């Protein structure tokens, strides 16, 4: 599916042009960290005459802004910027990453109600066999409605493999009232794998304090901790 494809593959100028422009002006935010590259996409549609999709690429330290690309879909204009004048742009990259992972940014703007870290943590602490699925390096956690156990609202995957940390948040749908559900513009709010981005690492390690996967426990025992 194209909408997933543009989120799981490495971000670049050509792929940025494929990002959706919601008809109802819903903003979106997306954190991707794959290997040594962390990137953030901001879809700012708050101004009807100045819609923009912004790609922030970070340096090797996962914190310094290396480049800012800004695409205006109505003009089909792509520009390299030092920084963006979007209300959602900030040089405080650590806060920006955390606000995407925790869902704060979605809650404080006209955006989809993406299922985020708080939902993951709550379900993970309950540790029910139907919603917390362990594997060697991490866990898959399912968020479901009581009467829709076979239809996940959201899927969370996190852990640490030999090649780095992984953390992925995917919202399939959310409910706005008893009758109506909405599919988000982008399904992933977070897609990280094989990364050592310190924000991702710290949050995964916090989850490991609740429960750790087999490989992590083995690694720790081998070190004598």
- Residue 224, CA distances (Å) to 163, 208, 210, 220 in order: 22, 17, 20, 6
Smallest CA-to-CA distance from 45 within 83, 87, 16, 76 is with 87
Length of the chain in residues, anyone? 225
Smallest CA-to-CA distance from 199 within 100, 126, 77 is with 100
Whole-model pTM: value is 0.94
Residue 108, pLDDT score: 87
Domain tally for the chain? Answer: 1
Residue 2, pLDDT score: 60
Residue 68, pLDDT score: 98
- Which are the contacts of 178, defined by CB distance < 8 A and separation ≥ 6? none
- Which are the contacts of 80, defined by CB distance < 8 A and separation ≥ 6? 67, 68, 69, 70
Q: What residues of the chain score a pLDDT lower than 50?
A: none
Residue 3, pLDDT score: 67
User: Environment class of residue 198 by beta-carbon count within 10 Å: exposed (0-12), middle (13-18) or buried (19+)?
Assistant: middle
Provide the 10 A C-beta neighbour count for residue 147.
6
pLDDT tens for residues 9-54? 989 999 999 999 999 999 999 999 999 999 999 999 998 789 999 9
Residue 225, pLDDT score: 60
Residue 4, pLDDT score: 81
Structural domain boundaries, residue 151: 2-222
């Amino acid at each position: 599916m194209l909408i997933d494809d543009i989120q799981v593959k490495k971000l670049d100028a050509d792929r940025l042009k494929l990002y959706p422009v919601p008809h109802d002006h819903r903003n979106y935010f997306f954190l991707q960290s794959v290997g040594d590259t962390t990137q953030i996409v901001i879809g700012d549609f708050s101004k009807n005459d100045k819609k923009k999709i912004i790609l922030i690429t970070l340096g090797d330290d996962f914190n310094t802004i290396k480049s800012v690309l800004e695409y205006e879909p109505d003009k089909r204009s792509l520009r390299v910027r030092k920084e963006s004048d979007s209300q959602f742009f900030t040089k405080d990259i650590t806060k920006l990453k955390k606000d995407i992972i925790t869902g704060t940014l979605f809650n404080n703007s006209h955006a989809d109600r993406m299922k985020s870290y708080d939902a993951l943590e709550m379900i993970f602490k309950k540790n029910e066999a139907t919603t917390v699925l362990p594997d060697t390096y991490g866990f898959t956690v399912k968020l479901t409605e009581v009467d829709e156990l076979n239809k996940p609202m959201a899927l969370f995957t996190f852990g640490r493999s030999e090649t780095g940390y992984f953390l992925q948040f995917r919202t399939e749908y959310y409910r706005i009232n008893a009758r109506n559900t909405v599919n988000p513009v982008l399904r992933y709010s977070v897609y990280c794998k094989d990364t050592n981005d310190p924000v991702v690492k710290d949050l995964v390690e916090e989850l490991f304090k609740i429960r750790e996967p087999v490989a992590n426990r083995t690694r720790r025992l081998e070190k004598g901790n």
